[in-house]
Amino acid sequence: MMAIERVAIVGLGLIGSSIARAIAERLPQVTVTGHDASADVRALAGELGLCDRIADDAAAAVVDADLVILAVPVGRMADAAAAIAPGLKADAIISDVGSSKAGVAKALATALPGHAVIPAHPVAGTENSGPAAGFATLFEGRWCIVTPDVGASQDAVATVTSFWQALGARVETMDAAHHDMVLAVTSHLPHLIAYTIVGTASELEEVTESEVIKYSAGGFRDFTRIAASDPVMWRDVFLANKDAVLATLQRFNEDLTALQQAIRRGDADKLEDWFTRTRAIRRSIIEQGQDDAAPDFGRRH
Ligand code: NAP
């Protein structure tokens, strides 16, 4: 396993800036160089003191990095990889944090032939974006899924694994295609549903938008948190993970139709069985430390 002394982070938004903050807190001996395509973000990252050095140029940011992490939207990974290529050390490990993996892995391998590419996805985030939105504890107790190619260097996989563990994450290794199917269910479909519900509610004719907002505590507002997520990031996720999302959506539509039928037919048992099963899933998430047990997400009343 390689000892990491210098990390370069390309993309200093929510995830990139959280990585920088977590390194400063948990790996203070590691030097961090940051780069972002946006001059405004670079300036803000400088003001916030996120990195030891901020480079205006992607290739210059990675020159002496042992580990480079691409934290840009999934649709920008290929560009970002091409931009860092001229500056990389021969033995640098390149990783990313993209929310979909098979397409990103392919794009990185194509742009960076001969380099150790170890894709990863920290399953942690919020609905906010940008460098000011990040925080050092974002990854604590959360899972980071590493999706190395079959021929990947085991040393490089071990280095990326121990890096994420050092930031407080729990690490699991998975095939990229399987990752994309799992995340289609646990993340991408819920976002699509939230985007749909919030969009639909704002366009209903019988109910005014002000009524939707006023009475949102009935359930609607919990969807609005997810539906407030970054539009560019999520546009790219759906385009990149198209097949897995469409397969999951097909299954969701079938189940929705079954519930629709149960309501129409007055099938009380079907509805109660279904809702009992879903309540158990919520309880398992709390038991496994993936959410707080506080009622109503800990809101003050
Ligand atoms: P973000 O807050 O919007 O930050 C992304 C930053 O990358 C922006 O400042 C953006 O600048 C910059 N950027 C875009 N293209 C670039 C390029 N070619 N080179 C350098 N910088 C570039 O997004 P985020 O939430 O941190 O997401 C970053 C990645 O993490 C995405 O791949 C996402 O799928 C993944 N992820 C997100 C979450 C989450 O909950 N947000 C969780 C896990 C993983 P501009 O704004 O000027 O384009």
- Tell me, what amino acid is at 12? L
pLDDT for 7: 98
Q: What is the CATH number of the domain that holds 259?
A: 1.10.3660.10
Phi, psi dihedral angles at 48 (to 5 degrees): -80, -10
Q: Evaluate: CB of 117 within 6 angstroms of ligand 1.
A: no
Does residue 62 have its Cβ closer than 6 Å to ligand 1?
no
Mean pLDDT over the full length of the chain: 96
pLDDT classification of 1: cutoffs 50, 70, 90:
low
User: Using a 6 Å cutoff on CB, does residue 34 contact ligand 1?
Assistant: no
Task: Find the length of the chain.
Answer: 301
Question: What pTM did the predictor assign?
Answer: 0.96
**Does any domain span residue 279?**
no
Q: Are residues 183 and 155 part of one domain? A: no
User: Cα of 232 to ligand 1 centre, how many Å?
Assistant: 9
Residue type, 76: R
| Ligand 1 center from residue 11 Cα (angstroms) | 6
Residues 137 and 34 placed together within one structural domain of the fold: yes
Domain boundary among 149, 174, 199: 174
Contacts of 218 (CB under 8 A, 6+ apart): none
pLDDT of residue 206: 86
Same domain, 70 and 170: yes
**DSSP 8-state code for residue 205:** S
Same domain, 108 and 128: yes
145 and 12 within one domain: yes
Would you say residue 287 lies in a domain? no
On whether both 217 and 239 belong to a single domain, the answer is yes
* Domain assignment present for 280: no
Q: What is the pLDDT of residues 120-163, one digit of tens each?
A: 999 999 999 999 999 999 999 999 999 999 999 999 999 999 99
Q: Is 75 in the pocket of ligand 1 (CB under 6 A)?
A: no
Q: How many C-beta atoms lie closer than 10 Å to residue 148's C-beta?
A: 23
pLDDT in tens, 97-127: 999 999 999 999 999 999 999 999 999 999 9
Are residues 13 and 121 located together in one domain of the fold? yes
Residues 100, 18 within the same domain: yes
Does residue 238 sit within a domain? yes
The pLDDT of residue 166: 97
Question: Which residue of 226, 233, 236 sits with most ligand 1 atoms within 8 Å of its CB, as the best mutation to test the pocket?
Answer: 233
Each residue's pLDDT tens digit, 181-227: 999 999 999 999 999 999 998 888 888 889 999 999 899 999 999 99
Does ligand 1 have an atom closer than 6 angstroms to the CB of 134? no
Using CA atoms, how far apart are residues 108 and 167, in angstroms rounded to an integer?
Answer: 23
On whether both 36 and 137 belong to a single domain, the answer is yes
Task: Give the count of domains, the chain.
Answer: 2
DSSP-assigned beta bridge partners for residue 22 = none
**Are 212 and 234 part of one and the same domain?**
yes
Q: Whose CA is nearest to atom 9 of ligand 1?
A: 13
State whether 80 and 189 are in the same domain.
no
Neighbours of 116 (CB within 10 A): 22
Whether residue 86 is contained in a domain is answered as: yes
- What single DSSP character describes residue 3? P
- Segments forming the whole domain that contains residue 244: 178-266
Query: Phi and psi at residue 121, in whole multiples of 5°?
Result: -140, 105
Q: What confidence category does residue 59 fall into, taking pLDDT thresholds of 50, 70 and 90?
A: very high
Asked if 116 and 165 sit in the same domain, the reply is: yes
Last residue of a domain, one of 174, 199, 233: 174
